[in-house]
Amino acid sequence: MSDLTIWHNPRCSKSRETLALLKANGHAPVIRLYLTDPPDTAGISACLDVLGINAIDLMRVKEKRFKELGLSKDMPSDRLVAAMAENPVLIERPIVFSAGKAAIGRPPEAVLAIL
């Protein structure tokens, strides 16, 4: 089993570019289509811990669903994590995990630092 995983959305250009970059560098990551196989709150919290960021920093705040749910940047972290678990479209993408490290592929080259 690969120790390299990508939370991937094939409709997202940055996600596709990040996956292509990984493959071009000889990596064959496990692809988790997080929109259809969303992480639970524990998985999102673990992701935040590894990334070393706050919940709001993992959210797509310009996503229509963010406003529809009445979310704000000032909400408690647990509420934002729950919203991402219930609405994975709110999770920033892509996220690459490797050997206990993680990086958001924005820009795609950012993931190379954890390989």
Instruction: Write out the residue range of the structural domain in which residue 84 sits.
Output: 4-114
In this prediction, residues 6-23 reach a mean pLDDT of: 97
Q: How many domains does the chain have?
A: 1
**How confident is the model over 26-81, as pLDDT tens digits?**
999 999 999 999 999 999 999 999 999 999 999 999 999 999 999 999 999 999 99
- Write the CB contacts of 68 (distance below 8 Å, at least 6 apart in sequence): none
**pTM (2 decimals)?**
0.94
pLDDT on residue 110: 97
Task: Answer whether residue 88 shows pLDDT above 60.
Answer: yes
CA-nearest of 29, 17, 25, 7 to 85 is 7
Q: Which residue has the higher pLDDT, 2 or 56?
A: 56
Residue 21 sits in a domain whose CATH number is 3.40.30.10
In this prediction, residues 7-35 reach a mean pLDDT of: 97
pLDDT on residue 2: 60
Q: State the burial class of residue 61 (Cβ atoms within 10 Å of its Cβ: 0-12, 13-18, 19+).
A: middle
Task: Answer whether residue 1 shows pLDDT above 90.
Answer: no
pLDDT on residue 83: 98
Task: Give the active site residues.
Answer: 12
pLDDT on residue 15: 97
Residue 15 backbone zone (phi > 0: left; psi -120 to 50: alpha; other: beta) = alpha
